[in-house]
């Protein structure tokens, strides 16, 4: 995110400054899954998930046009709980930024994610 927001030092910023940087680039963060049980950090270990109230978020922030879903699990959960929103918003299934996603190099991830701010 630091690279695509033209803030290479973003990892060094405090939490509030990180949020301000994202918002200044018209990026908001919201998890598709509100709660779950998971041993470890792999998405495949997620159990007993409950969805986040994305409809409320979209109602509160009616200027949202594009929803970027970070990886397969986020996309699958969004499709499961909010399939009606897929046609109402520009929903993009993005490559996961998880370190477990060895399929993509950092350069490829940056190129793919940079598309969200290239408008």
Sorted by where each begins, the domain ranges of the chain are 10-32+48-114
In whole angstroms, what is the distance from residue 67 CA to residue 39 CA?
Answer: 28
- pLDDT, residue 119, reads 54
Q: Which residues of the chain have pLDDT under 70?
A: 118-119
State the residue for tokens 């986020």. Answer: 74
CB 74 within 8 A of CB 67: no
Q: Cα separations (Å) of 6 from 3, 12, 15, 48, 114?
A: 5, 14, 17, 38, 10
Burial 6-27 (b: 16+ CB within 10 A, else e): ebeebeeeeeeebeebbeeeeb
- pLDDT, residue 99, reads 77
- pLDDT, residue 118, reads 65
- pLDDT, residue 1, reads 86
Class (C level, CATH) for 10-32+48-114: alpha beta
Strand partners, 37: 47
């Amino acid at each position: 995110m630091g690279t695509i927001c033209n803030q290479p030092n973003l990892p060094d910023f405090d939490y509030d400054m990180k949020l301000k940087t994202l918002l200044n680039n018209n990026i908001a963060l919201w998890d598709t899954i509100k709660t779950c049980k998971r041993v470890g950090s792999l998405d495949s270990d997620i159990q007993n998930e409950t969805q986040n109230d994305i409809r409320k978020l979209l109602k509160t922030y009616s200027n949202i046009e594009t929803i970027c879903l970070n990886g397969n699990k986020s996309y699958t959960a969004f499709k499961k709980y909010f399939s009606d929103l897929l046609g109402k918003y520009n929903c993009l299934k993005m490559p996961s930024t998880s370190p477990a996603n060895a399929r993509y190099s950092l350069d490829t991830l940056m190129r793919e994610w940079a598309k969200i701010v290239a408008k």
